[in-house]
Structure 1
Amino acid sequence: MNILLTVFEIVAPVFLLAGIGFTWVKLGFEYRLEFVTRLAVTLAVPSLIFVALMQTEIPAGELTRFTLAAIAGHIGLAVAFGVFVRLSNLDRRTYLSPLIFGNTGNLGLPLCIFAFGQAGLGFAVIFLAITALFSFTYGIYLVAGKGAFGKVAREPMVWATLLGALFLWQDWETPLFLTNTLELLGQMAIPMMLITVGVAIARLTTRKLGQAIWLSVLKLLVCFALGWATARFFDLDATAFGVLVLQMCTPVAVTSYLLAERFDADSDAVAGMVMVSTVLSVGALPIILAIVL
């Protein structure tokens, strides 16, 4: 009973905040998605990432092992789903990217913070940064047929990760007034991202729910199995183990839909996967969390 209560206390704020965003839109209130998203990815999330890394007390060896595990996890998903898409005769441009990349920012970070605290946040931002690197290069290549390596160099999240890692490595700290400012900016990130998820889901429509259901279930099962196997292979400690499995199992990111729409892939099919996998995560992530805690 105690574990059930703990899991409920962790996941309830996440889905309640997403529910606020969903309800906000359904009530007809204005929500400027592009502005809020830009504010989050340009200021709030980079500040959160930088401070989390600068202040983390995780040993460098554990962070290195987790980073290698996260890279291996992404490569494993790319290989597994690449073979599946080819054998299933599914459109590679439409389906491969959403099958590989999860919502490791909007949902993954909050879950890891609530479940594992500051140490979990340190691991979670590393996973998020690797997801961003892969999705802004290989992910865009899958959908558009060309890479976007220049975009990676312009991403504040990438620079926040590199600077945070440098400060961690050198044991540097920013002046207190700057740290406090960055912490305040970072505190916006979690509620802002979660409410935005709800808003985005409320605005999506699809006619391909049947296909989205079985693909979302398949994604969840493969991600859980591969995440578990990868964490065991790299012999991660309890917190890193839990973060890796949770981040691997996050639902399809809304950015996958935006990319599909921008580059003329089947955005309706991707919208269905975003919607179904997010709803599926409401029941699945608490179970996964109960297993890894």
Structure 2
Amino acid sequence: MFQALSNVLLPVMIVAGLGALLASRMRIDQVTVSRLTMYLLIPALVLDVILRTPVKVAEAGQLGLAFLLVMGLSLGLGWLTGLGRPGAERRSLSAASGIWNSGNMGLPIALFVFGQSGFDRATVVFLVSIIAMYIVGPAIYGSASRAGGRHGVAEIFRSVFRLPTVWVALIAVALRELNVPLPQGVTRGVSLLAEATLPLVLLSLGLQLGAGGWPPLHRRVWLAGAARLIGGPLIALGVGSAVGLRSESLAVLILSASMPTAVNALLIAQEYGGDSETVAGVVLVTTLGSVLTIAAVVALLPGLG
């Protein structure tokens, strides 16, 4: 476990920690950083990976299906942690358990643990998670939104298809299936942007955590945190085995499901009228607790082979 902490998590903690330190000392325009990441760097990363990854379409589809099943069961587990609580809190506990950080933390940790091949598979998971997050998150809070308002089903799907990552992924898959090569100058430019993605997403994570306050922590927050950090990887192990994932693909799914609650889950709660304090509490608990739980998962993963 110590080796996992030092070799895998320490680089992540250093970069994110520097971002948190910077955000605590000075005012940083996080909106601009987030937009650079979401609308430029992540689409470049997705394009770069899809065009050159050896992961086959069938395997990617199997991995994506497994992720969606794990997400659904994690949402249900989070819902159970909120039994007996008001609807707004219960929905937020569900979202905090079922929407995890497969990007800012999942991608760099997958690269450090598995190398390039695991990173390519983790990018597939991340791509599915982006689309699912912006459908599932608003849907969870939809019943609390005003009827016929801007939070309806049509608006949810419009918001998903406004994400450039979705269109870039579709174009990249088409280019790959049709064997249409891009000019070398274009691919080199895309690769340069892709290489800048991981450092910036880690800094962005640190900036978001450093700028936040200390939210209230109560028993349900701790239960949802346990559902995310302990229940997530256990669910992934069962689901991945059931759908036929093996070796590295199964390990990547389990590692992804062990990640803490995504900061984006908090942003979605704020946008759609959820209990943002509860989500913020689960983000804090799982981010801090994941230092130990991810190290444990990384240490146990070789046993799957």
User: What TM-score does the superposition give when structure 1 sets the normalisation length?
Assistant: 0.91
Displacement of 1:111: 1.1
Q: Helix, strand or coil for the counterpart of 2:47?
A: helix
Match of 2:206 in 1: 198
Match of 2:255 in 1: 246
* Number of residue equivalences: 290
Match of 2:157 in 1: 149
Select which of 99, 102, 105 maps to 1:104. 102
Displacement of 1:6: 5.7
The answer to whether the aligner puts 1:179 opposite 2:164 as a matched pair is no
Decide whether the 8 Å contact of 2:135 with 2:160 is kept in 1: yes
Match of 2:78 in 1: 81
Deviates more, 1:209-218 or 1:243-252: 209-218
Displacement of 1:75: 2.4
Deviates more, 1:53-62 or 1:250-259: 53-62
Deviates more, 1:135-144 or 1:192-201: 135-144
Change in Cα spacing, 1:229 to 1:171, as seen in structure 2 (3 Å) is farther
Change in Cα spacing, 1:207 to 1:4, as seen in structure 2 (3 Å) is closer
Deviates more, 1:199-208 or 1:75-84: 75-84
Decide whether the 8 Å contact of 2:63 with 2:249 is kept in 1: yes
Displacement of 1:121: 2.1
Q: Helix, strand or coil for the counterpart of 1:173?
A: coil
Distance in 2 between residues matched to 1:65 and 1:103, nearest whole Å: 20
The answer to whether the aligner puts 1:24 opposite 2:22 as a matched pair is yes
Decide whether the 8 Å contact of 1:205 with 1:271 is kept in 2: no
Distance in 2 between residues matched to 1:241 and 1:203, nearest whole Å: 35
Please give the residue correspondences for 1:1-293 in structure 2 after superposition, counting only pairs within 5 Å: 4-5=2-3, 8-26=6-24, 28-86=25-83, 91-145=89-143, 146-147=152-153, 148-211=156-219, 212-293=221-302
Deviation string, structure 1 residues 180-216 (Cα, Å, up to 9, x no partner): 1011111121111111111111121244223333321
Distance in 2 between residues matched to 1:240 and 1:263, nearest whole Å: 34
Distance in 1 between residues matched to 2:211 and 2:264, nearest whole Å: 14
- Residue identity opposite 2:141 in structure 1: V
Change in Cα spacing, 1:163 to 1:251, as seen in structure 2 (3 Å) is same
Q: Helix, strand or coil for the counterpart of 1:270?
A: helix
Decide whether the 8 Å contact of 2:78 with 2:94 is kept in 1: yes
Q: Helix, strand or coil for the counterpart of 2:218?
A: helix
- Residue identity opposite 2:291 in structure 1: V
Change in Cα spacing, 1:84 to 1:273, as seen in structure 2 (3 Å) is closer
What is the aligned-residue RMSD (CA, Å)? 2.0
Change in Cα spacing, 1:83 to 1:279, as seen in structure 2 (3 Å) is closer
User: What TM-score does the superposition give when structure 2 sets the normalisation length?
Assistant: 0.88
List alignment gaps of at least 5 residues for structure 2.
144-151
Distance in 1 between residues matched to 2:27 and 2:46, nearest whole Å: 29
Distance in 2 between residues matched to 1:167 and 1:71, nearest whole Å: 25
Displacement of 1:83: 4.5
Distance in 2 between residues matched to 1:45 and 1:243, nearest whole Å: 19
